[in-house]
A and B are shown apart, each in its own frame.
Chain A
Amino acid sequence: KNEVEQSPQNLTAQEGEFITINCSYSVGISALHWLQQHPGGGIVSLFMLSSGKKKHGRLIATINIQEKHSSLHITASHPRDSAVYICAVRAGDSNYQLIWGAGTKLIIKP
């Protein structure tokens, strides 16, 4: 069983839909990252969370430490949001290494 699991693996939605991507982890963590990777592009850090909720524009990230679960939400989705979204956790006992989820490939159709 992977230490970081994301769901769904693939998601296709229409422009304007509310998107939710989930991340569950099984290790103790000091922080959780949500990152975005475009095809052929580098990785962009969206959020780093250790508790609660963060919002940036149309993106919202939440984390529940007790349940070891985080969600990334996109409101009013747009085709330019199409990318792979990756959840990565910084393990509590080795806080410079990231344990990566497999990613969620999101396609937003116009």
Chain B
Amino acid sequence: GAGVSQTPSNKVTEKGKYVELRCDPISGHTALYWYRQSLGQGPEFLIYFQGTGAADDSGLPNDRFFAVRPEGSVSTLKIQRTERGDSAVYLCASSLTGVGSEAFFGQGTRLTVV
């Protein structure tokens, strides 16, 4: 597709379970970002990829969160031992170069931990 695609659009999981959230960026975009948006708040930066490498993972809240982008396109955000506080909309964005280029956002994955 032409835009950033995130799957699944909704995910309900039980506390303690492992989840994976997928992001397909716009083809050719080297930069990819993950954000988390809790109810009533603005998005919170999690991690930034430039190509295959995580250029900045300072926003990941703890070691239960991990993200990969093995081939420099699709990225997966992985959350281990999920907690109710992880419930949020997880947003992915990509941009052509990551430096001064516009970011395009996916629709987000709404994660609910019960």
Contact = CB atoms under 8 A, between A and B. Distances in A.
A33 to B, nearest CB: 7
Judged by DSSP, the binding face of A is strand
Contact of B91 (A43, A48, A95, A96): A43
Interface residues of A, number: 22
B42 A96 contact: no
Interface residues of B, number: 24
B45 A97 contact: yes
A100 B42 contact: yes
A44 B107 CA distance: 8
A42 B10 CA distance: 12
Nearest to B59: A97
Interface of A: 30-31, 33, 35, 41-45, 48, 50, 86, 88, 94-98, 100-103
27 contacts: A31-B100, A33-B102, A42-B6, A42-B91, A42-B105, A42-B107, A43-B108, A44-B105, A45-B102, A45-B103, A45-B105, A50-B100, A95-B100, A96-B31, A96-B33, A96-B48, A96-B50, A96-B55, A96-B98, A96-B99, A97-B45, A98-B35, A98-B45, A98-B103, A100-B42, A100-B43, A102-B42
